[in-house]
């Protein structure tokens, strides 16, 4: 028995000491991108900024697929380069803090959660599908990175009777054919192995590859168990369905593959580290923090271990300063709403851990920016270019909060003494948040460290009341009718041509004012928000698709035109155009119809040419005179969007731009304005 035990211990020891590639993080990233580009003909696409453009559903880009939504939804402009993409790979910078995907409060408690991370991704848009995707993933992990196959497990969708979905046996059989033992190919349900973009839209089964940090054993029971020993490293999503508003599923006209693998976790695997903070992505930062603090060196302790709170502070500061640097470089600054408010929370958490736990002097957080650039700058060189500006913004915001932090800490201490360790009053917690700018999660954290809990029920009531008051102050807005992927496919199958919007440039100067002529058109399709319909009746909201239009659709930072349609034979009834948007080459005019409208009807389009107010005219006059006085040359050129994005000094607004785009340059070295609008010289 003793001999068997010793043999078992030797085998476990050998497995734990086994060395794989030991690649530095930069080479891990490079190997991934080179593999897909050189061996499998994928186009390498740059990371999108962490601020999503034209997607109000997201505060931050939180997955590699975000920038490819137009392809997956079928709304991509057919003239754009993106419409031609079939195989793509990249490393996308992502932030998960706030909203549905929020890892903020878990950061520092373990070795794997981050607010900022890189997502290595590969995509197929109507090209290869399940077999090729699985084969590529297995080859990269086992042959190129050298991960032992006996450390890997794969999961697949095992079906769901309630949803009427059968098991993805095709994927299971692919893994078996690739040589993965049946005992390591595991079925799971909707929660773990069925991916959905949202409540509606593209979705499909996924297969995940999991890694056992221990090895030398059979650990199938630990897959998807939430432990740190067996972790998911790669998710391969097979997008083949569309979830409809009634929750039914329809097959998509084009199948796609979306894979994602977190760089930080992969580097941990390849460098033999269970904690991402022990890899070369973080150790330079942890060393730099130690040099600036009055705390002992980082020891990797977690949970209830002695000095674990200090090591947690190290991890929080290292994570948060990466997030701050990347977000500020991408144009997101700490502020009072939306993504800016989330970044403000992150900064204030980092400042608090720096000042109170690590006992670092003021300015320490900003001084870490060059180290962030050192660890990430090979992939994101803008961190080097923007390092001084990033540090200045962090330093300024740190200074604003430090005095409030001291006041808030004293208030918490006095209140805890007064209550004798009982529940912390909700009103005091709310005052810290409202008056001193403390994020509520930071208040919870500081109370947790003192073994005190807030009156959660009363605090939730105060938060709900505040949210209700804010909601009442916002104007009611009706959702836009946007074509979905199935409706776009139906338009294409029906042979409906893309909308000719050339008439929007047909205005001319007459008697000192611009005249926008009416435009005659034919109704080619009607969209009721769910499907294409041949007719709509009085009171219905619908999207009207015409063969041609003089209306400008919302894009490039410019609002859509307003006006109305008149139907032939019914000129006394005006169909008011409430919004105009563009998807997949089609211009959609949103109207609430006062009378019947059918496909094939002839209509006449009229733009609202109402006059500006006196104050507006004076403001326009001043702006125009200033521009004329500058006497700068105007240059315009239509170029592919990717080329326009490389122009030095380029200024854009937070919108999705068409491809190709018209670039307007006023003088040199005046910043170029990327403009999808109708500006004229």
pLDDT digits (tens, 9 = 90+) for 640-658: 665 665 555 455 554 556 6
Q: Give 182's pLDDT tier (boundaries 50, 70, 90).
A: very high
Q: What is the pTM of this model?
A: 0.76
CATH dotted code for 485-607: 2.40.30.130
List the alpha helices (DSSP H) in 18-83: 25-34, 69-73
Q: Give 12's pLDDT tier (boundaries 50, 70, 90).
A: very low
CATH dotted code for 18-276: 3.30.930.10
Q: Long-range pairs for 132-135 at CB < 8 Å and ≥24 separation?
A: 133/236, 133/238, 133/257, 133/259, 134/171, 134/174, 134/175, 134/178, 134/207, 134/236, 135/174, 135/178
Structural domain boundaries in the chain: 18-276, 282-471, 485-607, 625-675
**What's the confidence (pLDDT) of residue 675?**
47
pLDDT at 273 over 50: yes
Higher pLDDT, 529 or 588: 588
**What's the confidence (pLDDT) of residue 505?**
87
3-state secondary structure 440-501: HHHHHHHHHHCCCCECHHHHHHHHHHHHHHHHHHCCCCCCCCCCCHHHHHHHHHCCCCCCEC
Q: Give 478's pLDDT tier (boundaries 50, 70, 90).
A: low
CB of 597 within 8 A of CB of 536?
A: yes
pLDDT digits (tens, 9 = 90+) for 609-633: 666 667 667 777 777 777 777 676 6
Q: Long-range pairs for 132-139 at CB < 8 Å and ≥24 separation?
A: 133/236, 133/238, 133/257, 133/259, 134/171, 134/174, 134/175, 134/178, 134/207, 134/236, 135/174, 135/178, 136/35, 136/36, 136/40, 137/209, 137/234, 137/236, 137/259, 138/178, 138/180, 138/209
Q: Give 245's pLDDT tier (boundaries 50, 70, 90).
A: confident
Mean pLDDT of 181-210: 94
Structure tokens given for 392: 């200045």
Q: Which residues of 516-537 are buried (b: 16+ CB within 10 A; e: fewer)?
A: beebebebbbbbebeebeeebe
Tell me whether the CATH fold assigned to 18-276 matches the one assigned to 485-607: no
Range among 450-459, 634-643, 655-664 rated most confident: 450-459
Distance (Å, whole) CA 345 – CA 59: 14
Instruction: Give DSSP secondary structure letters for 122-157.
Output: EEEESS--HHHHHHHHHHIIIIIS---GGGEEEEEE
The CA R_g of the chain, rounded to the nearest whole Å, is 29
Residue 378: count other Cβ atoms within 10 Å of its Cβ.
Answer: 15
């Amino acid at each position: 028995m003793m001999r068997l035990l010793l043999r078992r211990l030797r085998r476990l020891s050998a497995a734990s000491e086994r060395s794989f590639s030991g690649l530095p993080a930069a080479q891990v990233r490079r190997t991934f991108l080179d593999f897909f580009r050189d061996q499998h003909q994928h186009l390498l696409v740059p990371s999108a900024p962490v601020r999503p453009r034209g997607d109000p559903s997201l505060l931050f880009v939180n997955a590699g697929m975000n920038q490819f939504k137009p392809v997956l939804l079928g709304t991509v402009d057919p003239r754009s380069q993106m419409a031609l993409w079939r195989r793509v790979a990249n490393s996308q910078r992502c932030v998960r803090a706030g909203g549905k995907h929020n890892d903020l409060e878990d950061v520092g408690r373990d070795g794997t959660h981050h607010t900022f991370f890189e997502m290595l991704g590969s995509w197929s848009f109507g090209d290869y599908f399940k077999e090729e995707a699985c084969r590529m993933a297995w080859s990269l992990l086992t042959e190129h990175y050298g991960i032992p196959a006996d450390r890997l497990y794969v999961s697949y969708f095992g079906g769901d009777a309630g949803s009427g979905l059968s098991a993805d046996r095709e994927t299971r059989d692919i893994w078996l054919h690739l040589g993965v033992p049946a005992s390591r190919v595991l079925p799971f349900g909707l929660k773990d192995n069925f991916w959905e973009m949202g409540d509606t839209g593209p979705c499909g089964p996924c297969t995940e590859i999991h890694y056992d940090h221990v090895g030398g054993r059979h650990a199938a029971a630990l897959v998807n168990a939430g432990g740190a020993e067996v972790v998911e490293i790669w998710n391969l999503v097979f997008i083949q369905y569309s979830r409809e508003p009634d929750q039914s599923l329809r097959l998509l006209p084009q199948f796609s593959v979306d894979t994602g693998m977190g760089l930080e976790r992969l580097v941990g695997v390849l460098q033999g580290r269970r904690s991402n903070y022990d890899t070369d992505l973080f150790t330079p930062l942890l060393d730099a923090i130690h040099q600036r603090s009055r705390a002992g060196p980082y020891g990797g302790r977690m949970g209830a271990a002695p000095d674990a709170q200090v090591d947690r502070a190290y991890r929080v500061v290292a994570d948060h300063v990466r997030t701050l640097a990347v977000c500020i470089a991408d144009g997101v600054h700490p502020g009072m709403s939306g993504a800016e408010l989330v970044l403000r929370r992150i900064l204030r958490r980092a400042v608090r851990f720096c000042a109170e736990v690590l006992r670092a002097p003021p300015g320490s957080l900003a001084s870490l920016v060059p180290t962030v650039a050192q660890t990430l700058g090979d992939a994101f060189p803008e961190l080097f270019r923007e390092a001084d500006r990033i540090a200045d913004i962090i330093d300024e915001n740190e200074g604003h909060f430090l005095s409030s932090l001291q006041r808030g800490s004293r208030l918490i201490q006095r209140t805890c003494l007064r209550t004798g360790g009982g529940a912390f009053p909700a009103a005091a917690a709310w005052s810290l948040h409202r008056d001193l700018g403390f994020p509520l999660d930071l208040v919870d954290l500081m109370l947790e460290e003192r073994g005190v809990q807030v009156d959660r029920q009363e605090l939730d009531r105060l938060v709900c009341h505040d949210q209700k008051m804010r909601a009442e102050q916002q104007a009611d807005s009706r959702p836009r009718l946007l074509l979905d992927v199935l409706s776009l496919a139906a338009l294409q199958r029906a042979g409906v041509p893309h909308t000719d919007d050339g008439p929007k440039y047909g205005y001319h100067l007459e008697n000192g004012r611009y005249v926008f002529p009416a435009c005659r058109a034919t109704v080619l399709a009607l969209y009721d928000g769910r499907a294409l319909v041949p007719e709509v009746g009085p009171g219905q909201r619908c999207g009207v698709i015409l063969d041609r239009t003089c209306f400008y659709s919302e894009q490039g930072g410019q609002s859509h035109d307003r006006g109305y349609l008149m139907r032939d034979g019914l000129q006394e009834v005006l169909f008011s155009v409430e919004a105009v948007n563009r998807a997949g080459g089609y211009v959609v005019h949103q109207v609430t119809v006062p009378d019947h409208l059918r496909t094939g009807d002839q209509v006449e389009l009229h733009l609202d040419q109402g006059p500006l107010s006196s104050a507006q005219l004076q403001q326009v006059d001043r702006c125009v005179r200033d521009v004329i006085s500058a006497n700068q040359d105007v240059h315009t050129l239509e170029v592919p969007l990717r080329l326009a994005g490389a122009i030095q000094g380029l200024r854009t607004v937070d919108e999705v731009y068409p491809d190709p785009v018209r670039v307007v340059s006023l003088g040199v070295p005046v910043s170029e304005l990327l403009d999808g609008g109708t500006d004229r010289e």
